[in-house]
Every structure is written in structure tokens, then in C-alpha cells.
């Protein structure tokens, strides 16, 4: 269940406050807590996505409905055999793997930063808004797909799929909305060093990338970063959410490609569990072929800034 509730202070004129730490030191202290909390909320998106995926897979294996279109005479089959259901289930599982890798990468940088390793703090600052925002956005997407896999059963309480979606939906809101994460990325993390930390991340990914799809994302992020740095503040903020998603998909694609490469190496060496390693290879391939291309138009959206937003004033 989602740990949310309503809290009220001072209703009976007895609300007292105490100074914690040095005066005027509240904001730095809060962000020490807040940045770790944001990683934990990103992990919440991973956890709910994983549970929603497990439940949807189990249901799809047992729910029998209709014959396959390619074999109409064979009789009804479990819905996991239908292509569109397979698409949803693959998307759920692979997206969950990708955001898990993203959150783990951010937490690993937190460990490195605590040891004072060079560049770790700057990399952590970049990855934190990605982990929180993209992790929870995908948590919601996966939980929603889980409801869809269940069909009408997913919309009622008996199945439990709707509970996952409700639990996931708070995560893009608290510990700083995902819009705030995007604004933090472009307004503070990107602008404070003129994009140096972002270009370092892009260069590292470019040096390792093997697939054309990932290299395309790298080029798009490079162009979008340069574009953002030349924009005024309103255009930059209007473009911040698509920019965050573009960067997140690039990082997830990089991490998934790494996993696939390592899994292939272990298979060739005859090490590890074949089924698990085959699944990691297939997951990496699916992400780069089916998920990463979704980000293809985001660089153009970033370049458009706040174009068209002024029309909102025409609403009576």
C-alpha cells in the first residue's frame, strides 16, 4: 500500500515548532534528506512495476480467451499467446528492468560520492532527477498496462491490479513532482556548469554504445543539451520534461545494452544460467528496438520550447 495520509497541525492552537540545527540551515539539511528520498521514491516505482508485471504474467498464463489469429482452428488459448498481450507484457518487464538499472546506477554513484571519488557527486546530481522522475513515470505506465492485461477484471478490486496503479500514481507527485525534477535538471544541474557534467555522461555513453539506436539517442541528447543552454528560462522550463525523458531513455538504453553485452559474453564463455542470460540479451534487444525509438521526436520537442503554450490564454 502507498504510505500516504492527511496530516493537520495546529487545529487547536497548540502547534509548536523547534529549531533543528543551525538557523537558516534548513534548506541544505532538507535537501540532504530529499535527494536520498527521491532515489527511494524512484525505487518505489521499480517495486510496484515489478509486482504489477508478476501479477499480469500470472494472469495472462491462466486466462483463456479466443484462438490465435494465425491458428483459428486450434481453439482458445491463454491470452499470453496473443501478440498484443505479449507486447504489453514484454514492455512491462523490460521497462521495469531498465528503471531498476537506472535507480541502481544512481545509488551506486551515491556510494562513490560518499567515498569522495572524483566526478561521482556530479554524476549523482544528474542521475537523481532521472531516477525519481523516469522511475515513477514508468512505474505508472507499467501498472497501467497491468490493468489493461487484466481487461475488465483489472478495473475491479478483486484482481488487485488497480491497487498497483493507485499506489504507483502518488510517486510522480511527492518528494518533488516530476515537473520539479525536470526543472531541477535543466535549471540547476545543467545550467550551473554549462553542461559539463552532462557532456561527460554523453561522451562516456558514446564511447561504449554499439547499437545505432543508442548512438542516435546520444546525438539527440547532445543537440538538445546545446539547444537548452541557449534558451531563455521560460523556453528551457517548457522543454524540461521532454528533455528529462530523452536523457533517461538514453541512460536506460546504455545500461540495458551493457547488460546484454555482459550476458552475451557469459553465454559465449559457457558461464552462468543460460535461460537467465538469454532473457537479459532478449530484454536488451527489445529495449533498443521497441522502447528507445519512442524518444525519437523528443529532441524536436525540446527545440520548440514553449511554442504553442501561449494559446492556453484563449480558453475562456
Do 98 and 138 contact (CB within 8 A), yes or no? yes
50, 109, 175, 257: the catalytic one is 175
Largest CA distance in the chain: 77
CA torsion, ordered 86, 89, 91, 96, to nearest 10 deg? -160
Q: What is the 3-state secondary structure (H, E, C) of 223-246?
A: HHHHHHHHCCHHHHHHCHHHHHHH
List the grid coordinates of 2. Answer: 502507498
Is residue 285 within 8 Å of residue 254, measured between CB atoms?
no
Residue 229 CB burial class (10 angstroms; 0-12, 13-18, ≥19): middle
Query: Cα separation of 254 and 210, whole Å?
Result: 9
User: Which of these, 108, 246, 244, 111, lies nearest to 189 by C-alpha position?
Assistant: 244
**3-state SS, residue 10:** coil
Query: Assign residue 211 a region: left if phi > 0, alpha if psi is -120 to 50, beta otherwise?
Result: beta
Other Cβ atoms less than 10 A from the Cβ of 215: the count is 14
Annotation marks residue 204 as catalytic: no
Residue showing cell 532538507: 30
Residues labelled catalytic: 175
Amino acid at each position: 500500500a502507498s504510505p500516504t495520509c492527511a496530516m493537520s497541525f495546529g487545529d487547536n492552537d497548540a502547534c509548536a515548532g523547534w529549531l533543528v540545527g543551525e538557523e537558516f540551515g534548513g534548506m541544505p539539511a532538507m535537501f540532504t534528506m530529499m535527494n536520498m528520498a527521491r532515489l527511494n521514491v524512484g525505487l518505489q516505482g521499480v517495486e510496484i512495476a515489478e509486482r504489477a508485471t508478476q501479477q499480469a504474467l500470472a494472469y495472462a498464463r491462466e486466462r483463456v480467451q479466443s484462438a490465435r489469429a494465425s491458428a483459428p482452428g486450434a481453439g482458445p488459448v491463454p491470452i499470453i499467446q496473443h501478440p498484443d498481450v505479449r507486447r504489453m507484457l514484454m514492455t512491462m518487464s523490460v521497462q521495469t528492468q531498465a528503471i531498476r538499472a537506472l535507480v541502481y546506477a544512481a545509488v551506486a554513484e551515491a556510494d562513490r560520492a560518499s567515498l569522495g571519488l572524483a566526478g561521482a557527486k556530479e554524476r549523482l546530481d544528474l542521475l537523481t532527477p532521472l531516477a525519481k522522475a523516469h522511475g515513477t513515470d514508468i512505474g505508472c505506465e507499467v501498472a497501467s498496462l497491468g490493468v489493461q492485461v487484466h481487461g475488465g477484471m483489472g478495473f475491479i478490486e478483486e484482481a488487485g491490479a488497480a491497487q498497483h496503479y493507485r499506489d504507483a500514481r502518488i510517486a510522480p507527485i511527492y518528494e518533488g513532482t516530476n515537473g520539479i525534477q525536470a526543472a531541477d535538471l535543466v535549471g540547476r544541474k545543467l545550467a550551473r556548469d554549462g553542461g559539463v557534467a552532462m557532456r561527460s555522461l554523453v561522451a562516456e555513453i558514446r564511447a561504449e554504445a554499439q547499437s545505432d539506436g543508442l548512438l542516435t539517442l546520444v546525438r539527440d541528447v547532445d543537440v538538445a543539451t546545446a539547444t537548452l543552454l541557449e534558451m531563455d528560462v521560460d523556453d528551457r522550463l517548457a522543454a524540461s520534461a521532454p528533455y528529462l525523458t530523452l536523457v533517461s531513455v538514453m541512460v536506460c538504453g546504455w545500461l540495458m545494452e551493457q547488460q546484454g553485452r555482459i550476458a552475451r559474453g557469459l553465454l559465449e564463455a559457457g558461464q552462468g544460467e543460460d535461460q537467465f542470460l538469454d532473457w537479459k540479451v532478449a530484454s536488451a534487444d527489445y529495449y533498443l528496438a521497441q522502447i528507445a525509438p519512442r524518444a525519437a521526436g523528443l529532441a524536436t520537442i525540446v527545440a520548440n520550447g514553449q511554442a504553442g503554450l501561449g494559446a492556453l490564454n484563449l480558453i475562456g
